[in-house]
Chain A
Amino acid sequence: MKGWTAHLRAFVAAGAMGVSALMASSAASAVEIKIGYMKHPIQEASIAIMEKWAAKNGVTIIKIPMAYEIFMEKVTATLTSGGDQYDIIWHNDDWGQLWKNWLTPTNDVPGMDTVLKQTVDVAFLNTDGKPTVVPMAHTFGVFYYRTDLIDEAHLPKTWDELSTISQKLQQEEKVKWGFVGSMAMNHSWFSWFWANWTNNCDVLAPAYERDNKVLAANGWKPMIADKCSQQVVEYWWDAINKTKISPPAMISYTRNDANAIFQAGDAAFTVADLTLYGQFNDPKKSKVAGKINIGFLPLGPSRTEPVAWNDIWGWAIPKGVPAERKEAAKKMLGAMLLDKEGQIDLWKATGGPPPNTEVWKTLAETDPLFRRADEVVFKVMKVIAGGYYTPEWPAIHKAYNDGVVGALNGSREDIPKKLEAAAPAIHAAAARTN
């Protein structure tokens, strides 16, 4: 009996030593990478590419999802307090200018030479001129139309055609509304901004300029009271009140409201993010599944050449991350950029054009939607970045949106006066840029 217990003790001791040795060795080699992100198909798909690499290289990924509404505020507070709560964070051009001094340069991440340089340079360079982002996908709005209502040859090329074609479809009772898009604050891209850009217009002068030095040299001049901007507001006023191609409550729509109407089959046209193509084409979620395509943005009276916009979403590494994890994060992001199969999967799963431009050639040869996106966005000569890259952009955007919504929500005759009155608030916000 004594011998049996001694054997048992020896066996347990040996087992315990073995387990602890195994744990110690795995603890020594295991690297944990914490990713702070928003639950969105694009980000999930990009993380899925990283997970493939992580599994092969003994890296554990810990995903920390956050709501969009609090993401920027929470991560900003973490970055400025020097905490290492995240090793990789979602990075967006909207706040590229806010975080530039808190992030690790990414110029040495493998594969950065394969991305579209201008989409990185416009918003993500630090004070030394080095990039602080690794792109995960391109995000931009496109003009969606219903293929069961109109064929490509007859797509509206101008705002006027958008109105007349919409009215025709409405009169024939084929659809309830012609165009639907969001107008409320933080959803300006899908009505106000694209209409500005297609009319040689913008929030600040000169139109389409995103270099803060040039904008400052021009005195941070708002364009809201210019004729081109007045035409934009008058067009939407007519769309709601006169031609009635858009719903009266469009003034209050978020992108979710507008997308719901398009998905319900109640509108012929919309402008929405290309990454929504999958959702619009999902029969479980959309009545227009299989009946949509994308085209050029219709042009306003002041412009004759097509225009498009192109931004990226990306990943970044906070400066405070310890060296070992920083190195692993860079390797993993590099692997994500160079995983061509993974990038094609990302495109197929989400409709988000992948960041590696070498993949574009393959996609353009094999995928009709990508070919179309290539035509209506990537090959367009005038491509605009969606925001302004100053820390004051949220204040500029809010002042602009308040101005145009306020002007739209009144009589047509008062539009110029109201736009004139809104200009000082935009200038004041923009001029605070250092």
Chain B
Amino acid sequence: MLALIAPAAVTMALFQVVPIILGANASFRDWTLYDPKKTWVGLKHYIEVITDPAFFGLAIPNTLLFLVLSVSLSLTFGLGLALLLNRSFVGQSVVRTIVLLPLMVAPVIASIMMRWMFNDQFGIVNVVLEGVGLPPVAWLAYRWTTMMVIVLADVWLWTPWFAVLLLAGLQSLPKEPFEAAAIDAAGPWRVFRSLTLPMLRPVIVVCVVIRSIDAFRVFDQVWVISGGGPARTTEMFSIYAYVEAFQRMNFGKGSAAALVGGAVIVVFGLVLYRLLNRAVEVSK
């Protein structure tokens, strides 16, 4: 048995555990990339991160807001798509393939595409707005419009992921309750609310927890679309850690920020999982 799991365990140890230990070690040291003295500084970096108003006052709230918006919208659209694709219609396989396309696009490419779509001078979005007589918008010049573009890019990328998993969940549901509901002349909304959604909840819980943890560490979309701007207003936790470690070259403080963020997401993930799990239990 040990021999069977050894390759996976060694790989995990080398590529996950060791880097985390190295990062954790760096977070307690004076470790700039250009002059790594590596002298022990204790909790200095952690105190700097925790007391920095930009971390708990800006980066973490932005990240949580992004997480809630992106996950809930992706879930809603993904569920809608899954319900549509669960029906038989001509060209179903073609539509399924098209729906899956965003999953094949790298987040960086999608984000560059989104940035140009929302470019105030050349972007297709403003062309459409002007076409219908509305004024063009400087989408990336303001906090909330920029945040909207970032969330939109993420929703576009992740909706198919929800759709695929929820479609698999839908197709594994037993047919009998739906047949009974049909005999009782239950309407589509009643069937969805009283049968589909409760039976699909375990799948939804797993999807939401996995996706939330992933959304917390979002980087590519924010970096490409706004770089955390204008004036840090869309800065997320991962951008904060990256800027500290690789732009300011302070590897120690960047590592500390990453570990504090890691702790936040562990707590957030546990709370979320318990809440959603309780919702599933209640619905049984």
Contact = CB atoms under 8 A, between A and B. Distances in A.
B120 A248 contact: yes
A409 interface: yes
Sorting the interface of chain A by its residue count into under 10, 10 to 19, 20 to 34 or 35 or more gives 20 to 34
Contacts of A80: 33-36
Interface stretch (A109-117, A160-168, A257-265, A360-368): A257-265
A252 B249 contact: no
B230 A409 contact: yes
Contacts of B34: 76, 80, 95, 98-99, 102, 391
Contacts of B36: 80
A249 B249 contact: no
A252 B141 contact: yes
B33 A402 contact: no
Interface in A394-434: 394-395, 398, 401-403, 405-406, 409
Interface string B231-250: 11000000000010011110
Given A76-B249, A261-B121, A406-B231, A101 B35 contact: yes
B119 A257 contact: yes
B122 interface: yes
Contacts, number: 84
A22 interface: no
Contacts of A402: 229, 231-232
A391 B35 contact: yes
A359 interface: no
Contacts of B119: 249, 257
A352 B27 CA distance: 42
Interface string B105-148: 00000000000000111100000000000000011111000100
Interface in A34-77: 73, 76-77
Contact of B139 (A76, A249, A261): A249
A185 interface: yes
Interface string A238-275: 00000000011111100001001100101000000000
B248 A252 contact: no
A354 B229 CA distance: 36
Interface of B: 32-36, 119-122, 138-142, 146, 226-232, 243, 246-249
Given A99-B34, A257-B121, 11 more contacts: A73-B249, A98-B34, A184-B227, A186-B227, A247-B120, A248-B138, A249-B140, A250-B141, A252-B229, A395-B247, A398-B248
15 contacts: A73-B33, A76-B249, A98-B34, A247-B120, A247-B121, A248-B141, A249-B119, A249-B120, A251-B138, A251-B141, A261-B121, A394-B247, A401-B231, A402-B231, A409-B142
Closest 3 CB pairs of A and B: A406-B231, A249-B138, A249-B120
